[in-house]
Structure 1
């Protein structure tokens, strides 16, 4: 599955885009000014995405990758 397919499936499932998740992550303290906070751990973030949005591990990692700047 391509990266874009992951993002499209997440949007279909949750109604949220990577930008929406970035805003939510800022509210949770995982991002600051669009950048990952050094103390934020990948596991913390993926667990949040799995629990609150019912994402699988691969989909949660795709959102985490967008937090790190990946777009493809």
Structure 2
């Protein structure tokens, strides 16, 4: 599953875009640099019943922003992404 696919699934499961979840994380004080991954995982499990893998994908975005490592971009692997910049504003508004 690509990194973007994780974020799209998070949107499907929560009804919120990654950007909306970032705002909620900020309001809860769960944004970088002070928050810890375990706190974000617990929040997303408790409030949205997300598993660890999806929560850690969201943690990466909280900690590092929408940019990901280019090692999987454009590759043929399972985890390949089309771009090193993740789309955070929801699947419906994603440019094709």
* Fold shared per TM-score above 0.5: yes
The structure that has the greater radius of gyration is 2
Give the structure 2 partner of residue 3 of structure 1. Answer: 3
Q: CA deviation at 1:37?
A: 3.4
- The structure richer in helix per residue is 1
Match of 1:52 among 42, 47, 71: 47
The TM-score, its normalising length taken from structure 2, stands at: 0.64
Aligned residues: 67
* Deviation beyond 2 Å, 4+ runs, structure 1: none
CA contact (8 A) 1:29 1:37 kept: no
The TM-score, its normalising length taken from structure 1, stands at: 0.83
Distance 1:70 1:50 in 2: 22
Distance 1:43 1:23 in 2: 18
| Root-mean-square deviation (Å) | 1.3
- The structure richer in strand per residue is 1
Unaligned runs of 5+ in 1: none
